[in-house]
Structure 1
Amino acid sequence: MTSPDDDTPAADGSQPATAYDWVGGDAAVRALVDRFYDLMDLEPGYAALRAAHPPDLSSARDKLYWFLSGWLGGPSHYIERFGHPRLRARHMPFSIGILERDQWLACMAQAMQELALDPVLQERLQKAFFQTADWMRNKGV
């Protein structure tokens, strides 16, 4: 599973300790996840992605927040609750193709942009998200 490297300085030249710090810490990770799921609910362009989720997104919101916190270099909330993420295995019951992957990536990119994350960080996260999202695909299209 690919995570963002922490050796590239922010656009202002400062060196964040982790991508978690660069994002803005706990409240910023929660805000990013909440915006991601709000957009999934609001934007017609994410309909296939939304259809892959249950009507109530509260559990998905918490799990993504817990996962991203640790993945970005912050607290390991997800691992403390569930153990190793085993992302691919946990997502196998869901049909994930290129459409779902691309909608997930676009939705996250929009959330990051709307929350005005550093453009350098956005680019690095998008690359890492792409590698992980592409690895999660379990159908050809």
Structure 2
Amino acid sequence: METIDQSTETPYQRIGGDAAIRRLVDRFYQLMDELPEAYTARKIHPQDLTESGNKFVDFLSGWLGGPQRYVEKYGPPMLRRRHMPYAIGPEERDQWLMCMKLALEESVADEPLRTALYEQFVRIGEFMRNQGENVASCGCGH
């Protein structure tokens, strides 16, 4: 049987496609619900996380090199702009990242991929931050 060169696989393929992304997102939100230390991050999300989870799965699919469902349904992600109505400071960022790190550890067996993804989530988490010192300007007047 021929093996696939990992360097030619997209992160979407390496993680295991839609089913694996759904498991990651479901575990992420489950941790956010369960962990008291994630309370501040959790309270900026809607009570029912169904739509948020579906959007996150769609976003991650395209972001990882799979089907671009998020863009097809909602247009360009514009993550910072879409999150601007919510106060996201260092505490919310760190709680979000804690849940993501735990979900990645439990859901992604490919260690180099898991590490690379977490590094990107750290960058995204900081980019989303709109409260606290040294907040980078998005150029949108906020």
Does the 8 A contact of 1:16 with 1:22 survive in 2? no
Partner of 2:116: 124
The Cα offsets for residues 80-132 of structure 1, whole Å up to 9 and x where unpaired, read as: 00100010000000000111111111101101111243111111011111111
Structure 2 gaps, min length 5 = 134-142
Q: State whether structure 2 residue 126 is matched by structure 1 residue 134.
A: yes
| Counterpart pick for 1:94 among 86, 99, 102 | 86
Which moves more between the two structures, 111-120 or 69-78? 111-120
| Counterpart pick for 1:68 among 56, 60, 69 | 60
Percent of matched pairs sharing the same residue? 49
Greater Cα radius of gyration, structure 1 or 2: 2
Could you tell me how far apart the structure 2 residues matched to 1:46 and 1:99 are? 9
Q: State whether structure 2 residue 98 is matched by structure 1 residue 106.
A: yes
Which moves more between the two structures, 115-124 or 29-38? 115-124
Partner of 1:44: 36
Using structure 2 for the length normalisation, give the TM-score. 0.86
Give the total of aligned pairs. Answer: 129
Does the 8 A contact of 2:41 with 2:92 survive in 1? yes
Q: Give the counterpart letter for 2:74 in structure 1.
A: F
Could you tell me how far apart the structure 2 residues matched to 1:36 and 1:125 are? 14
Could you tell me how far apart the structure 2 residues matched to 1:116 and 1:135 are? 24
Does the 8 A contact of 1:20 with 1:73 survive in 2? yes
Kindly state the Cα deviation for residue 27 of structure 1 after the two structures are TM-superposed: 0.3
Does the 8 A contact of 1:96 with 1:136 survive in 2? yes
Which structure carries more relative contact order (alpha carbon 8 Å, separation 6+)?
A: 1
Q: Give the counterpart letter for 2:30 in structure 1.
A: D
Query: Which contiguous aligned blocks of 4+ residues in structure 1 show a shift greater than 6 angstroms?
Result: none
Q: State whether structure 2 residue 23 is matched by structure 1 residue 31.
A: yes
Partner of 2:139: none
Structure 1 gaps, min length 5 = 1-12
Using structure 1 for the length normalisation, give the TM-score. 0.87
Could you tell me how far apart the structure 1 residues matched to 2:91 and 2:7 are? 35
Could you tell me how far apart the structure 2 residues matched to 1:14 and 1:68 are? 19
Kindly state the Cα deviation for residue 16 of structure 1 after the two structures are TM-superposed: 5.2
